[in-house]
Structure formats: structure tokens, C-alpha cells
């Protein structure tokens, strides 16, 4: 009787709405909702399958399953704030699909536990009228340490007192960018302890890059975030980076603002989807924390030393800013903060960064923080700052777009990282007084060579357009979509993505060419999702089909651990590359590796020689060709899952 009644209803529905009826009949027959939703669920389960090894025992996402991975992290079982932001996004989407957002809350709780530094003991001694003592950024690691110069003017920090009054404490609610998940280096800088050493088995915060644009990962000297002079040399690691008359043990952290912004982007979607499911109350506390993170993320809008924005061509003559005139309102490359150990002083410091890469911009996050009630930060000027940032970011896309459609590098308030005078051709057309830079921040390899910056950033722009239908954005996205579809080789069910991009000219006449192609999973996935959002908002059927075909091509490479394609990492001949250490400087790591003028990448990471795949590196170092490696990067695997789920949601397929 019940079955008869159900089919009677289905027959009536069939007459009214064929699509709904077919969907219900499929459910009765036990058929899953759709191909791309199935693929999301499949990929999600692989990522959460403990035997695949994407997470540590503490639930921290590793940078990759594999350990012999040298990219921005110098070891596969480190992790980044970037990985955490993808983790949040994955769980927000899973919440939409299942109606249960508890895993989104759990992801934020894990983030808060392990990668937001709780040890900030002397930040209360920070003087916002004197944020930090100036030091030049140098061109090469061999020019370090860089002398601190108290005679160079710095500006005033307009955020600190407002944030302290708003939240009732001196504390930066921002992610540090790098986490040694299994304490491989042995520093043991766990949250809230600033102690530990090699005997600690849990996650430990660490630092790397600090010596100019030529300091690739192969030339870095990893160091602790709490430098108590227990390791390194006489002054810990500090005198490798800055030159001073004396040194004080201190704690120090660095944020990667694009990751914090992506976490807020994930929270935006969680708000929309949880409301749609009628369960917003279940995530309200987590969303409030995302809004708080957005409040502190405003430090990404400021010049490194809070100098006045615009036409800074001399570190001595470029004045310190007051109020918000040191804000460029873009999302910069980093901001850092630190201070003395409590038994050695009460001072602290904060710096921003004058350089902003287009690839780090996130107009959806800026929109959310200035327009979505649940995500508006509490500080009095935060909403207006993010509204200004939104407009400034949209201007930047237009300023940096090439005639072909791609986006060039970025802009800076501090040429060479020391307020030099740029070549005359660079200053011909500035952006609110900021100078165009085709490779802002790092040059080995150039920061805008990697194609992945294109879909990473344009995806956020496309999501913003999908949400707002802002007419200003439509022609920008249309041009980019046409370029990227012409640039990708998609045929016979397979794909080749651009990898290395080269640039010529300055605004408004910048041109891009493609030098090298690859089959990179993450960039293909991000591009497919960007085109999907653009197609859903604009009705571009070609972009929709292209997105679908690219996702189908990706799925051909599915395996029990995820989706991956073997690759040849062209930099893997650099394991014995020299790491610059000043003559006469000697120090040690917790496990005994010596740091001196004969240091090499693997020489200060001798544990790499015990890696299961080290034999491949030995073959390379013996003169052999670089072989294929298979990597399962957390960000790329989650990106693929998110793209499958997004396509299913946007097109009900």
C-alpha cells in the first residue's frame, strides 16, 4: 500500500516536473545523486582514510602524504596555514552535502590548537608608536645579517590599540605559516609552552625564509619560533639574519595572509550553506572566530614599517605614516610579530609588508568581512577597512591584467625591500603610488612564474562575481576565461596545463607567454572550478563544458589514495646546494647537525638520508637524471574534492 502510494505520487510529479520525478525515482532505486557529487564523496573519504596518511595522530593535515617533498615547506610532514585553510573549505563543503557541520567546527578547533600561536607573552609591551627597528632586505643570503638602523623613520601602527580594546588583550589571532607536525627538527616549540626539544613528539612551530628574494627553500636555515639560544650559535639563530650590538632571546611568528583569507572564505561559504540547511547556530561560534581572524588580517594591508604609501624612493626620505596613510589596502605577502622572552624584557614588535602579489588577493573574503553580518569584525574601523580593500583589490586586477587576459605579478611600496628608486620604466605607471613588480617578494624561482597563481586568485574573483554579480568584474573574468581556455591543452580526454609563464613589459602593456606545460593536479582543479563559477554566473556554456571536461580528465587519474600523476621535480638536483653561513659562525641543531660555512641543504637536514625515497636522490647526486616522483599534496587533493563538489552544486549534476 505504501509503495503503491509512493509511485502514485511519482506519477503525478512526472506530469508536473520531469526533472524532479527522475531524481526521486533515482533515490527510490538507490542511485546516488550525481556523478560529481559521488566524486566529491569518494575523494573526501580517501582524504579521511587514516591508512592513506593525510593527517597526523593529532588530526593535523600534513603538507603531503610523502615525506621527501621540498617546496615552500622543506619536508612533506610539515604543514602550512595554507593546508589548514583548505581543510576548512573541504569541511564546509562536506557540511553542505551532509547537513552536518561538526567537522568544520572540529577543523577550526584543530587550527586554533596547533597553528595559532598561544605563546605571545610580551606583546603587551609593544609600542604602536614605534612598531619595529628598520633593517634593509638584501638581494642575496650572503649579504646577511642585515644591520638594524634606528635612524630610519618608521610609522605608527593604527590597529594595535583598537584591537586590544576590542578583544581585551594583547594577542594576535593569526595563523603562523609553518608547523613541523612531527617535530622532525626537534625544536619542540609547542603552543603555550615555548619549551620541549627533541623529546617532544607533537607539532612544533618553526621558521624558515628570512634572507631576501634569492633565498629559495634550498638556501634556508630553519630556526625555532621561540629562540632561547638553546640551539644554533651563541645568539641562537638571530645573528644570521639581523645585525645588532646585542641579542635577546625572543619569540617570533609570521602569517601568510592568503591562507588566513582563505579560511575566512571557507567560513563565508559555511555561513551560506548552514543557513540554507537551517543549522547556522551549530557553527556560529566558529564563524565568530573567523570574523576575529579577519580583524587581525588587516595587518596585511600595511607597509612593512608603517611608512606612508606612495612614491617611496628613499628609506630616509619616505616618512613614517600616521593613521591609515600607511595602508595600501591590499593583501600583502606576510606580516610578522614577536618580542622578548618574559625574563629578558617586555618589548615586542610588529611588521607588515609593502609588497602585494595579485595571487594573494581575495575579494570574496574582503566582501564577506565588509558585508556579511556574521563575519563583520568587531573593531570600529574594520568593516570600512575591508570595504576599501575590496575596491582596491578589484582595481589591482584591472591594473595587472595583460591584453591576453592573464594577471601579472604585483606591486610594492618598497623597491628591493629597502625603498630603493626603481628603474624609470617601472615608475611610468604606478598603482596608488605603488611600483609594478613582475616577481614580487621572491626570485628563485620567480614568484609569478608558476601558473597556479592564476587560478588560485581568479577563482576567488569568480566566486565574488558569482555572489554579487558586480558588473565591474565581468569583463575582467571574461578576458581571463578566454585566455585560459586557449592556453590549456585539452584533447582526447587528457590535459596539459601551463606551468611556467614569462612576462614582458610594464602596465598598461604587459604581455605573457607560456614556456612549459605540465599535468599538475591542483592547478587543473582550481582552473576548472574558476571556470565553473564564471559559467554559472555568466551563462558561458563553453566555460561550463570546458570545466566539465577538465574535471573528467582529472578523474581518469583516480587511485586509492586520491588523484595524482607522477611528476619530475626539476629542482631535485639541489640537495647538496650550499647554504650560506658567515665565516666563523658555528651552531648546531637539536639532533646534532652542524651549521657552519660548509653547510648544505641536506647537511643541516641529515635525517633526509633515512627517508624511504632517498636512494632516488643519491642517484641524482651521482649524476643520474631526475626520476619521477608521486606526490599527494593535501592542498591539491582537497582542491580536487572541492571542485567536484562545487560543480555538482552549481549545475546540479
Beta strands in 383-528 (DSSP E): 410-412, 435-437, 489-491, 494-506, 509-518
How big is the chain, counted in residues? 653
More confident call, 192 vs 283: 283
Catalytic-role residue among 82, 182, 295, 385 = 82
Q: Which of 31-45, 157-171, 475-489 has the lowest mean pLDDT?
A: 31-45
Q: Which of 21-25, 138-142, 168-172, 467-471 has the lowest mean pLDDT?
A: 21-25
Helix (H, G, I), strand (E, B) or coil at 89: helix
Average pLDDT on 605-631 reads 98
Please give the pLDDT value at position 29: 31
Residue 28's pLDDT is 32
Distance CA 557, CA 525 (A): 12
C-alpha 275: how far from chain center: 27
pLDDT at 573: 97
Query: What's the mean pLDDT when you consider all of the chain?
Result: 94
Q: Dump pLDDT digits (tens) for 240-296.
A: 999 999 999 999 999 999 999 999 999 999 999 999 999 999 999 999 999 999 999
Q: What is the DSSP letter of 13?
A: H
Residue 418 pLDDT grade (very low, low, confident, very high; cuts 50, 70, 90): very high
Give tens-digit pLDDT for 323-339. Answer: 999 999 999 999 999 99
- 292-323: per-residue pLDDT in tens? 999 999 999 999 999 999 999 999 999 999 99
pLDDT band at 640 (very low <50, low <70, confident <90, very high): very high
Assess whether pLDDT exceeds 50 at residue 24: no
- Annotated active-site residue 38? The verdict is no
At 501, the pLDDT band (50, 70, 90 cuts) reads very high
Q: Kindly name the residue from 189, 215, 258, 374 that is annotated as catalytic.
A: 258
**Catalytic residue flag (residue 82):** yes
Closest CA to 434 of 330, 320, 360: 330
What is the per-residue pLDDT for 192? 67
CB 607 within 8 A of CB 618: no
Band the pLDDT of 427: cuts 50, 70, 90: confident
- Of 31-40, 108-117, 126-135, least confident by mean pLDDT is 31-40
- Kindly state the DSSP code that residue 98 receives in the 8-state scheme: H
Cβ burial, residue 621 (10 Å; 0-12/13-18/19+): middle
d(CA 538, CA 402): 21
Local structure of residue 401 (DSSP, 8 states): B
Confidence of residue 425 (pLDDT cuts 50, 70, 90): confident
What is the model's pLDDT at position 244? Answer: 97
Q: What is the pTM of this model?
A: 0.94
pLDDT of 189 over the 70 cut: yes
Phi first, then psi, for residue 186 (nearest 5°) are 90, 10
Three cell numbers written together for 410: 604585483
User: Mean per-residue pLDDT for 617-645?
Assistant: 98
Asked whether residue 23 carries a pLDDT value surpassing 50, the answer given is: no
Residue 223: is the preceding peptide bond cis (ω within 30°)? no
pLDDT-based confidence at residue 55 (cuts at 50, 70, 90): very high
Surface-to-core class of residue 613, CB atoms within 10 Å of its CB (0-12 exposed, 13-18 middle, 19+ buried): middle
Express as a percent the part of the chain with pLDDT over 70.
95
Amino acid at each position: 500500500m505504501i509503495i503503491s502510494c509512493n509511485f502514485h505520487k511519482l506519477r503525478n510529479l512526472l506530469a508536473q516536473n520531469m526533472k524532479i520525478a527522475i531524481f526521486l525515482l533515482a533515490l527510490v532505486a538507490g542511485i546516488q545523486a550525481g556523478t560529481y557529487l559521488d566524486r566529491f564523496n569518494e575523494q573526501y573519504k580517501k582524504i579521511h582514510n587514516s591508512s592513506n596518511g593525510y593527517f597526523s595522530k593529532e588530526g593535523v593535515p600534513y603538507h603531503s602524504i610523502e615525506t621527501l617533498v621540498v617546496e615552500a615547506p622543506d619536508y612533506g610532514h610539515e604543514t602550512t596555514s595554507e593546508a589548514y585553510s583548505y581543510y576548512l573549505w573541504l569541511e564546509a563543503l562536506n557540511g553542505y552535502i551532509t547537513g552536518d557541520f561538526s567537522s568544520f567546527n572540529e577543523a577550526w578547533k584543530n587550527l586554533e590548537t596547533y597553528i595559532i600561536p598561544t605563546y605571545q607573552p610580551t606583546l603587551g609591551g609593544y609600542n604602536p608608536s614605534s612598531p619595529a627597528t628598520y633593517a634593509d632586505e638584501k638581494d642575496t643570503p650572503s649579504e646577511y645579517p642585515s644591520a638594524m638602523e634606528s635612524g630610519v623613520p618608521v610609522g605608527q601602527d593604527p590597529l594595535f590599540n583598537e584591537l586590544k580594546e576590542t578583544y581585551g588583550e594583547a594577542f594576535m589571532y593569526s595563523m603562523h605559516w609553518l608547523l613541523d607536525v612531527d617535530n622532525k627538527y626537534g625544536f619542540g616549540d609547542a603552543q603555550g609552552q615555548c619549551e620541549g626539544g627533541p623529546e617532544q613528539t607533537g607539532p612544533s612551530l618553526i621558521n624558515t625564509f628570512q634572507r631576501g628574494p634569492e633565498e629559495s627553500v634550498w638556501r634556508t636555515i630553519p630556526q625555532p619560533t621561540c629562540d632561547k639560544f638553546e640551539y644554533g650559535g651563541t645568539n641562537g639563530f638571530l645573528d644570521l639574519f639581523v645585525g645588532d650590538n646585542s641579542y635577546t632571546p625572543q619569540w617570533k611568528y609570521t602569517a601568510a595572509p592568503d591562507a588566513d583569507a582563505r579560511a575566512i572564505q571557507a567560513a563565508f561559504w559555511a555561513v551560506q550553506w548552514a543557513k540554507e540547511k537551517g543549522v547556522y547556530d551549530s557553527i556560529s561560534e566558529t564563524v565568530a572566530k573567523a570574523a576575529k581572524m579577519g580583524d587581525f588580517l588587516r595587518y596585511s594591508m600595511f607597509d612593512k614599517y608603517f611608512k606612508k604609501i606612495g612614491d617611496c624612493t628613499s628609506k630616509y626620505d619616505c616618512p613614517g605614516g600616521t593613521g591609515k596613510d600607511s595602508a595600501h589596502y591590499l593583501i600583502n605577502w606576510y606580516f610578522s610579530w614577536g618580542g622578548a622572552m618574559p625574563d629578558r624584557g617586555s618589548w615586542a614588535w610588529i611588521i607588515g609588508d609593502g609588497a602585494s602579489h595579485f595571487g594573494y588577493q581575495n575579494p570574496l573574503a574582503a566582501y564577506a568581512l565588509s558585508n556579511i553580518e556574521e563575519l563583520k569584525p568587531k573593531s570600529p574601523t574594520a568593516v570600512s577597512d575591508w570595504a576599501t580593500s575590496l575596491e582596491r583589490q578589484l582595481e589591482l586586477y584591472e591594473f595587472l591584467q595583460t591584453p591576453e587576459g592573464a594577471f601579472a605579478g604585483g606591486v610594492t611600496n618598497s623597491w628591493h625591500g629597502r625603498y630603493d628608486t626603481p628603474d624609470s620604466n617601472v615608475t611610468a605607471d604606478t598603482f596608488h603610488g605603488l611600483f609594478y613588480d613582475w616577481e614580487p617578494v621572491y626570485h628563485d624561482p620567480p614568484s609569478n612564474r608558476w601558473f597556479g597563481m592564476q587560478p588560485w586568485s581568479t577563482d576567488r574573483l569568480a566566486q565574488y562575481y558569482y555572489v554579487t554579480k558586480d558588473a565591474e568584474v565581468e569583463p575582467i573574468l571574461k578576458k581571463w576565461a578566454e585566455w585560459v581556455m586557449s592556453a590549456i591543452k585539452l584533447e582526447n580526454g587528457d590535459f596539459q596545463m601551463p606551468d611556467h609563464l614569462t612576462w614582458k613589459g610594464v602596465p598598461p602593456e604587459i604581455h605573457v607567454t607560456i614556456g612549459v606545460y605540465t599535468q599538475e593536479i591542483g592547478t587543473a582543479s582550481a582552473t576548472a572550478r574558476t571556470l565553473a563559477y564564471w559559467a554559472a554566473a555568466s551563462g558561458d556554456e563553453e566555460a561550463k563544458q570546458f570545466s566539465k571536461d577538465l574535471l573528467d580528465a582529472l578523474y581518469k587519474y583516480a587511485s586509492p589514495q586520491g588523484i595524482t600523476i607522477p611528476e619530475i621535480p626539476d629542482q631535485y638536483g639541489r640537495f647538496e646546494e650550499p647554504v650560506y653561513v658567515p665565516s666563523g659562525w658555528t651552531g648546531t641543531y637539536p639532533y646534532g647537525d652542524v651549521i657552519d660555512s660548509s653547510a648544505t641543504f641536506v647537511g643541516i637536514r641529515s635525517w633526509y638520508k633515512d627517508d624511504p625515497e632517498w636512494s632516488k636522490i643519491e642517484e641524482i647526486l651521482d649524476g643520474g637524471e631526475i626520476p619521477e616522483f608521486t606526490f599527494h599534496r593535501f592542498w591539491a587533493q582537497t582542491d580536487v574534492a572541492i571542485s567536484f563538489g562545487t560543480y555538482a552544486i552549481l549545475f546540479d549534476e
